[in-house]
Every structure is written in structure tokens, then in C-alpha cells.
Structure 1
Amino acid sequence: MTFKTTIPNRALGLLAIIAIVFSLYVLKPLIMPLLFAMILGVMIFPVQRFFERRWRCNRIFATIFSIILIFSITAILFSIIFVQLQGFVNSGENYSTRISELYENLITYIGDAFNISNSSVINGNELNMKKLLRGNLGKVTVFVTESGSFMSDLVLVPIYLFFFLYYRRFFRVFAYKVFKSKSQSFVNMMIRKIYNVQKNYLAGLLKVMLIVGVLNTITLLVLGIENAFFFGFFAAILLLIPYIGVIIGALLPTVVALATKDSIWYAFAVMGVFGLIQFLEGNFITPKITGSKVSMNSFVAILSLIAFAMLWGISGMIVALPITASLKIIFDNTPGYEAYGFVMGEPVDALLQSKAKQRLKVWKALRQKKSVT
């Protein structure tokens, strides 16, 4: 009887998960502005609290001032990026001509070295390198614009953000009423933990972006690449888009190195050093700065990035880690869901160690026992 009733329950649970995922996919235009407003609210709240406590501002004025300040800084930053990228795209004709020459020289060199006829490859219509580059350089700005689609609705996000900050105590009381079975101290502890993990993640991300931007800029300055400061920090900003952003950030200075330098080795140097910096960032810098504050294992992090990318695209990749970290806190403190919180966290060293040493000790002990007997 129990087995027969378990199957319908599992089927209903699976259908509920499918319905939730489908609803999240359909409701992306509604959900994404809310999520970004929540994340921005975590960033802006210290500024608002500063206005309220230090300058004794009314809450409504403190909220408006903090939002205007943050959005002004963001608008200036995006304006600088847009102008620089527009200049890069306008130089696309010169870049494509230079890279086409390098491509033809490479084909000629390969043909001479291996005694292969290369006239059809260079002059044929199958692969026209110049036309290919000229047609795709302009898509860089389009990609960046689309990747920043979370800021496209310049009305909803500030409105949601305003109410999240202005009504914060009202929403806290709402949480008390939703979780009536829990004490107010428990609800406050949960809210504080979620807020701290979001704040620490964002603060750590800003530190990582600053460090990576400085390293990138120093590399490009040493190699003599044009617009080193812009390309260095632009690649660091693209860390907001995990994995993909790094590739895009390294691609632009590589193209400039190919187009402006006499040797192709400058482009290989840019790719190699950017790859090294990415390795250091992923394995040392980020774990050192944010790893202890957002305790989530790499497998779950990669899985969440893929899942949110399939669900909401590039915007989903940006919010994947903060949302997953918050879910881990909820699972850790919800009876019956502790196992999910455990599998999302960092495994202890004892679970990662090989049993070979332990078996070797047992084997040595047995041999010693035999030798004694």
C-alpha cells in the first residue's frame, strides 16, 4: 500500500517541478527585474543606511539619494564602455585589413612549407577572412548590449529597488507572518544570513574584479597594447558573466594585438597571460576572497550556472551564484532539507582524502604482526 501511494506522490512532485520551471521560464520578464532589484538593494542598502544614520535623512529621501547615486555611477561606467567599444568597432575596417593580410601570409607560408597550392584558399569565395571580420566586429557592441539586458528596463528596476529599500521593515513583518511557526529571532537570523552572504559575495566580486583589472592592465601595458586600461578593466567587469565573459574580454585585446603589432606572438602572449590570470582568479584569488564567505562547492556552482543559463540566458548566469548561495542557507535551516544544503556545501577534507594511506597502514600493521609471530 505504501509503495502504491509513493509512485503517485513522486509523479505529482515531478509535475510540480516541471510546472515551476516552466513558470519561471515564462515569467522571466517579471522575475529578472525583481531579482536584479534585490541584488542591487543589497549593494545600495549600506549607502542608504549611511544617509539615514550619519546625515539624519528621512528614509524616503535617503532611498532616493542612494538610488540616484548608484545609478549615476553605473550610467557613467556604461557610457565609457559604450564609447570605447564604438571606437573599437569604427576601427574594424583597419583591423580586418591587417588581420586579412596576416591570414594570407600564414596561408602562403603553409603552402610554401608543404608545397600546397593556396591560391584557391586565399582568393576563393569559400572563406573570405576580411569579409568575415568586417561583418562580425560590429556584433561586439550588440553582444555587450544584450548581455546587459537586465538594465534595459530603466523604469521597473529602480521602482522595485525603491520599494524594497523603503518597505524593508514592512517586508520583514510580512516574513514574520508567513513563518508564524518560527520565532522572530529565527526569521531575523535567516534574513541576516542571506543578506550577509549576498553582501559578502558582491563585495568579494568587486575586489576580485579590481585585482584582475589591475593584472590585465599591467599585462597589456607591458605588451604595449592600445587602450590597455579599458581592455584590462573591461575584461574584469565581464567576470560578471562567468566563464563566457573572460573569453570575450580576452578576445578584444587579442584582435588589437593582431592588428597593431608586427608579430603574431603578441596576440599569443595576450591570450596566454589572460589565461594565466583567469587560472589564478579561479583557483586562488576568488576562493581566497569569497570562498570562505560563500561556502558552495564547484560542482554545484557549475551546475547552477548551466541550469540558470538554460532558463534565463546570460542574465541567469549573473544571478545564478547569489541565488544558489541563498537557497543553501534556506536548506541548511529548514527541517527535512538539510541533505540538500549539505550536498551544496564544501566537502570536509576527510571526505576528499584517499583511503590508500589508511589501507597502507593496515597492511604494514599486518606485516609487522606476522613478522613478530
Structure 2
Amino acid sequence: MRSPLLSVTLSVFLVLMIGWLLVVGRSLVLPFVIALIVWYMINSLSHVFQLIPIGRWRLPGFVTFTLSLLSIFAVSTFVLDIVTVNLTQLAQDAPTYQRRLEELFDQASSLFHLNDPIELKDLLPESVVPRMVTAGASLVTTIAGSASLVFIYVLFLVLEQSTFDRKFERLFSDPEKAQAAFAIRAEINRSIMHYFSIKTAVSVATGVLTSLVLLAIGLPYAALFGFIAFLLNYIPTIGSLIGVIFPSLLAVVYYDTLAPFFAIATGLGLIQFAVGNLVEPKLMGSNLNLSGLVIMLSLAFWGAIWGVVGMVLCVPLTVMIVIVCARFEASRPIAVLLSETGEVGFAESKA
């Protein structure tokens, strides 16, 4: 019989090895994870289309699947076009904002009677612009390469998805174990579907309201900031804060007075507070059952491994870990520690 110390040591070693592989293989694993998300979105949207009644009939699977593909492609193209136009305009206007920022530094230096006035080059080195351009070009190249790899992964996932259940079932020699594995997969699917459906609806509402507030006040790039707010809303806690900071800082540079800054900061702050603390918790309920501290630690962990994508996926990944650990007696304490209430159900299998 293995000693508890040996089991703990092997478990820690396994976790460290998996973490190391996730970091080292990031360039290969991350595109596949993104492809899984896209594939999951296609199938989820196809399922939604199948639920829409047309008289006494419902659309067949191949029609709904095609509609979901076209819908995702059309929405992605539309959003990317808007973001590209806004980014191009922002790049053209950047020198104007830089001069305005220098004027603000001069005013601040005069107001506080500083002997050594604050200058922009003190905060940003002179070579920062070429480096930013180089980094931007590298980022575009990386995204283009990743997009091609993601497309290939999605294509093969779509072509082979009809065999997944059969392969998954044949992984287990015991039918009861196979049934238990399918039950775990179904529970994970329900939790992730619940999370992403509500999170997406709330994020869309946040992005639209952000754009409307900025349009009403007259700040440029309202669509861009709305899209940024939509994306950042998937990142727990810090995403909503960053979504308020970006347009508020632009308001300081764009306007001659601070009134628009306070109006934008207050308006967007109220939106984020209402959505994040009132609407979303009410819709989400206690389905996730994750501790707030665990969410923050998960955010830091997955962000360090996979960057922004890891921050977006930190909650679903942690939910999956809790569900799987809760099913086995040996790993159930881990699920209890990660949960919010400590109630994770009963283990059904023995490790």
C-alpha cells in the first residue's frame, strides 16, 4: 500500500510536470484550446438553432450547423472590420494625443511649481515607438499564424466529431465506468454552457452600454471601447476595472476640461457595478460554486501560463477541475477547498 507522503509527492510532481508542459508547449496547445472554444461555439449555436420551431418542423442538423458557421463568420468579420477602422484612426490621431499629454504635463508642473518639469520622455523612452511598432508587427504575424492553425484544428474537429462518443466509450472496458465518464462530461458541459451563455449575454450588454455612453458624451472610438469592454468582461474582477480606465484616460487627453472625464468614469463605473454585482450574480446563481479567492488565484495562474486567453478561461477551467475532483474519493478534498460552500456532492468512484 502506498504511503500518503508518496501519494502527495507524486501528485505534486504530476501537477508541476503538467504546468511545465503547458508553458513550454504554449505555442501548440493554446491554438488547439482556442479551436476547441470555436468548435464548442459552433455546436452550441447549432443546438440553439435546432430548438427554434418552424411551424411543426425543426431545422435538420446539417442546416443548423451551416447557419452557425455562417453566423459566427459574419459576426466575427463585422466586429473585426469595426475594430480595425477604429484602431487605424487611433494610430493616426496618436501624435495629437501625445502633444495634448505633453501640455497636461507642463500644466501639472506649473501648478505644483516643480523645479524639474515632468516630460513625456521621462515616462516613455524615445525608442518606445519603434519598439511598439515592431511588437505590433510581431503580434499581427503571430495572430495570423495562430489563426491558420486554429482554422485547421477546427476543420479536423468538425470532420471527426461524429466519432468522438464512440471513441470515448471504448476508452473504458467497464460499461459502468464509461457511463460515469459520460455523466462527468455532461455535468461539465452543462456548467460551462451555463457560464458562457450568461457571461456572453452580460458582456454584450456591457459592450453596447459602454458604446452608447461614449457616443452620448462624444468620445471617439466608442465602438472600439465597447468591444474592449465586451472582451474584458470575461476576465474576472480586473477586466471591468480596465474597461473603465481606458476610455476615462482618453477623455483626459481628448477634452479640455475634466467634466467629461468624471461623466465617463462615473457612467461606466455604474454600468460595471450594476452588471457585475447585481445582474450577473442573479443570473449566474450558485451554479459555479467557486471561492472568490480561488478565482483570483486561478486568474493569476492561468494568466501567467496563457496570458489573456488564460484569464478568460480561468473560471471554466477551474470549474472543470472541481467537477472532476469531486467525482473521486482521493481528490475530493481538492474540490472542497476550491468550492465556495464546501458542498460538492459525493464521490462516486474510488481512485
The Cα shift of 1:307 comes to: 0.8
The CA deviation string for residues 158-206 of structure 1, in whole angstroms up to 9 with x for no partner, is 2322333443342122222224333554333222221122222111111
Could you tell me how far apart the structure 2 residues matched to 1:137 and 1:15 are? 43
Q: Percent identity, please.
A: 25
- The amino acid that maps onto 1:226 is P
Q: What number of residue pairs does the alignment pair up?
A: 336
Q: Report if the CA contact (8 A) 2:105-2:120 is conserved.
A: no
The Cα shift of 1:151 comes to: 7.3
The CA deviation string for residues 7-54 of structure 1, in whole angstroms up to 9 with x for no partner, is 444433332222222112112222212222222222111343447994
Indicate whether 1:322 and 2:316 are aligned: yes
Residue in structure 1 matching 2:117, options 121, 128, 152: 121
The Cα shift of 1:138 comes to: 9.5
Aligned to 2:54: none
The CA deviation string for residues 118-163 of structure 1, in whole angstroms up to 9 with x for no partner, is 4x315xxx65479769956995996799599677522222232233
Could you tell me how far apart the structure 2 residues matched to 1:252 and 1:269 are? 14
Decide whether aligned partners of structure 1 residues 83 and 262 sit closer, same or farther in structure 2, where only a CA change above 3 A counts.
Answer: same
Q: Which shows bigger deviation, 13-22 or 315-324?
A: 13-22
Unaligned runs of 5+ in 2: 52-56, 344-351
Residue in structure 1 matching 2:335, options 313, 318, 341: 341
Could you tell me how far apart the structure 1 residues matched to 2:203 and 2:134 are? 21
Q: Identify the structure with bigger relative contact order (alpha carbons < 8 Å, sequence gap 6+).
A: 1
Aligned to 2:152: 159
Decide whether aligned partners of structure 1 residues 251 and 133 sit closer, same or farther in structure 2, where only a CA change above 3 A counts.
Answer: farther
Q: Which shows bigger deviation, 233-242 or 47-56?
A: 47-56
Decide whether aligned partners of structure 1 residues 286 and 180 sit closer, same or farther in structure 2, where only a CA change above 3 A counts.
Answer: farther
Aligned to 2:89: 87
Q: For residues 190-229 of structure 1, what are the structure 2 equivalents within 5 Å? A: 190-229=184-223
TM-score by length of 2: 0.80
Q: For residues 6-85 of structure 1, what are the structure 2 equivalents within 5 Å? A: 6-49=4-47, 50=49, 54-56=58-60, 58=62, 66-85=68-87
Unaligned runs of 5+ in 1: 112-116, 350-373
Higher Rg of the two aligned structures: 1
Q: Report if the CA contact (8 A) 2:86-2:223 is conserved.
A: no
Aligned to 1:176: 169
Residue in structure 2 matching 1:104, options 98, 102, 106: 106
Decide whether aligned partners of structure 1 residues 152 and 301 sit closer, same or farther in structure 2, where only a CA change above 3 A counts.
Answer: farther
Q: Report if the CA contact (8 A) 1:63-1:162 is conserved.
A: no
Indicate whether 1:234 and 2:238 are aligned: no
Aligned to 1:367: none
Decide whether aligned partners of structure 1 residues 15 and 344 sit closer, same or farther in structure 2, where only a CA change above 3 A counts.
Answer: closer
Q: Report if the CA contact (8 A) 1:210-1:236 is conserved.
A: yes
Aligned to 1:254: 248
Decide whether aligned partners of structure 1 residues 260 and 24 sit closer, same or farther in structure 2, where only a CA change above 3 A counts.
Answer: closer
The Cα shift of 1:68 comes to: 4.6
- The amino acid that maps onto 2:185 is I
The Cα shift of 1:99 comes to: 2.2
Secondary structure at the residue paired with 2:341?
A: coil
- The amino acid that maps onto 2:147 is L
Secondary structure at the residue paired with 1:309?
A: helix
- The amino acid that maps onto 1:89 is A
- The amino acid that maps onto 2:314 is A
Could you tell me how far apart the structure 2 residues matched to 1:259 and 1:134 are? 22
Q: Report if the CA contact (8 A) 1:37-1:157 is conserved.
A: yes
Decide whether aligned partners of structure 1 residues 244 and 150 sit closer, same or farther in structure 2, where only a CA change above 3 A counts.
Answer: farther
Decide whether aligned partners of structure 1 residues 311 and 128 sit closer, same or farther in structure 2, where only a CA change above 3 A counts.
Answer: closer
Residue in structure 1 matching 2:290, options 296, 300, 304: 296
Q: Report if the CA contact (8 A) 1:216-1:232 is conserved.
A: yes
The Cα shift of 1:222 comes to: 4.3
Q: Report if the CA contact (8 A) 1:44-1:66 is conserved.
A: yes
Residue in structure 2 matching 1:186, options 157, 169, 180: 180
Decide whether aligned partners of structure 1 residues 262 and 127 sit closer, same or farther in structure 2, where only a CA change above 3 A counts.
Answer: closer
Aligned to 2:306: 312
The Cα shift of 1:110 comes to: 1.9
Could you tell me how far apart the structure 1 residues matched to 2:308 and 2:137 are? 11
Decide whether aligned partners of structure 1 residues 321 and 57 sit closer, same or farther in structure 2, where only a CA change above 3 A counts.
Answer: closer
Aligned to 1:264: 258
